[in-house]
Structure 1
Amino acid sequence: MITITEQEFKQLAEYIEQNYGIHIKKEKKLILSSRLYNELVNNNCENFTQYFEFIRSDKSGKALIELVNKITTNHTFFMREADHFNYFRENVLPYLAKTVKNKDLRIWSAGCSTGQEPYTLAIIIDDFFKNEKALWDTKILATDISNKVLYEAINGIYGKDEVESLPSMWRLNYFEKLDNGNYMINNKIKKEVIFRRFNLMEKVFPFKKKFHVIFCRNVMIYFRHSTKMELINKFYDIMEYGGYLFIGHTESIPRNETGFQYILPGIYRKV
């Protein structure tokens, strides 16, 4: 096993935080080194100093992609923090249905991981609008920095145990059961979600239109407070007035540091 020195850890951790916002604490040193061990071996690096130079000099970008895949935590499941989805269906969508101009509904799932969150939102939207759905543009932008989870999300295949707790009508109307017992999101819902690789640490967000709803749940728990607030204020700037921001239940936004108004745990609004 190749050990990582204090200086190597500091150098690599600072690089990761500067580029991806993820703050890796000192007590995570062994976890970081074990996650990256195979990358060192596969790229013939004898130590973490060589590996650091390798990822910085790799013009193909593949080394950085693999680094991101290794350091990100992607734990999610359908209907995680279900009260957020209930609030979205019962409060947010009725409001937006009455107020959104040109029937152009703009929703962003930031840090979408393997796709359960944006697919759930697309299903709720389809179920809410029913026959009027064809009159609306409701495509959801779903982004993540990990190519690995985006690949899984685009495939949209989930195990039986992942979908069995969902309403039976959802499984019937929005999934296809595969021969191996797994379930795949059907094309009707797949077409409603646009998956893209995107780094939330980008200095300028390239979106031409503002969003009505942003979901960024359990992403900022890996950020320092200053990084988190910079991102939240960027969310505020690219959101329509009256729009909603959903963050994780264990996360919160200081009321004196943002224009967002607290609604419920993990739910904020731009007013």
Structure 2
Amino acid sequence: MLQLSDADFQRLVTFMRDRYGINLSQKRLLINSRLSAALQAKGYTDFTKFVDELLSGKDAAQVEFILNKLTTNYTYFMREKEHFAFFNEVILPDLIKRNERKKVLSIWSAGCSTGEEPYTISMCIKDFLGPQAGLWDTRVLATDISPRVLSEAADPSYEMPTDIPPEWSRRYFRKRTDGSGLYTVTPEIRHNVIFRVFNLMEPIHFRIKFDVIFCRNVMIYFDQETKDALVQRFYHATNQGGYLLIGHSENISKNSPYRMLRPATFRRE
């Protein structure tokens, strides 16, 4: 097994924090265990050469490799059901009423991984609007730092989810035609999501502000200073009266500009 030197560890920690906000300062054993065998398989005899190449910025594949190794793209349909119950019962009625004239909903799934979250959001919206759905622009912006997971999200393959409403299996999923036995989402749902690569450490300069931002189980990788700065950027990217939803295992500062409505659910007043 390759051993991570103090100098290479500090260089990796600084790079990941400054570039992606990811705090690995207490993760030395994780870095060593997750990267060592993979680097040896690539022909490296030490960490130093890999870190040199990573920091040079000449090979985007190196960044993709380390992001995939050191972060977890764990997600599933209807994850944290309490959020989707509140979304259906409180948020959507409020947004539909406020946006009735222009018939546009602006929703961002930040850190969307392989797409289950934005697809769930789209299914909730289609169900809520029913026959009126075609009259609205409900496209969901879904972003992640990993091109690999976004590629999977844009052409998804799933086991049939078990925790979704029964009618969703029939309405929103189709068996893939590749003989895999897996399922994909219907074109109606897939085309309602716009996937983009985006680093949450960058300034947020989308052409619109958002009625809802979902950023769940992403800030677990960030230190408090990074979280506070990101929440400020989210706040300025949120419409008046809009919402921010974070993971139930996460928290934001009590000095946040958002007002807390319930655990993990906030509003810009």
Structure 2 partner of 1:252: 251
Structure 2 partner of 1:132: 132
State the alpha-carbon separation in 1 of the partners of residues 111 and 141 from structure 2: 11
Structure 2 partner of 1:20: 20
State the alpha-carbon separation in 1 of the partners of residues 163 and 249 from structure 2: 23
Bigger Cα displacement from structure 2, 213-222 vs 171-180: 171-180
Partner of 2:232, secondary structure, is: helix
Superimposed CA distance per residue, residues 12-62 of structure 1 (whole angstroms, 9 cap, x where no aligned partner): 111111101010133x21221232235533554322121111112342422
Once the two structures are TM-superposed, the CA of residue 180 in structure 1 deviates from its matched residue by: 3.7
Once the two structures are TM-superposed, the CA of residue 77 in structure 1 deviates from its matched residue by: 1.2
Once the two structures are TM-superposed, the CA of residue 172 in structure 1 deviates from its matched residue by: 0.2
Structure 1 partner of 2:36: 37
State the alpha-carbon separation in 2 of the partners of residues 200 and 9 from structure 1: 23
One-letter amino acid matched to 2:164:
L
Once the two structures are TM-superposed, the CA of residue 118 in structure 1 deviates from its matched residue by: 0.4
8 Å contact 2:15–2:55 — kept in the other structure?
no
Question: When the two structures are aligned, how many residues end up with a matched partner?
Answer: 266
Structure 2 partner of 1:167: 165
Structure 1 partner of 2:237: 238
Partner of 1:62, secondary structure, is: helix
Once the two structures are TM-superposed, the CA of residue 183 in structure 1 deviates from its matched residue by: 1.6
State the alpha-carbon separation in 1 of the partners of residues 85 and 196 from structure 2: 26
Structure 1 partner of 2:56: 57
Bigger Cα displacement from structure 2, 132-141 vs 69-78: 69-78
One-letter amino acid matched to 1:59:
K
8 Å contact 1:112–1:143 — kept in the other structure?
yes
8 Å contact 2:111–2:215 — kept in the other structure?
yes
Unaligned residue ranges in structure 2 (runs of 5+) = none
Superposition TM-score, scaled by structure 2 size: 0.94
State the alpha-carbon separation in 2 of the partners of residues 55 and 254 from structure 1: 33
Partner of 1:157, secondary structure, is: coil
Unaligned residue ranges in structure 1 (runs of 5+) = none
State the alpha-carbon separation in 2 of the partners of residues 143 and 174 from structure 1: 22
8 Å contact 2:53–2:59 — kept in the other structure?
no
Of all paired residues, the percent bearing the same amino acid is 43
Partner of 1:166, secondary structure, is: coil
**Equivalent residues in 2 for 1:83-232, closer than 5 Å:** 83-100=82-99, 101-160=101-160, 163-178=161-176, 179-202=179-202, 204-232=203-231
Superposition TM-score, scaled by structure 1 size: 0.93
Partner of 1:102, secondary structure, is: coil
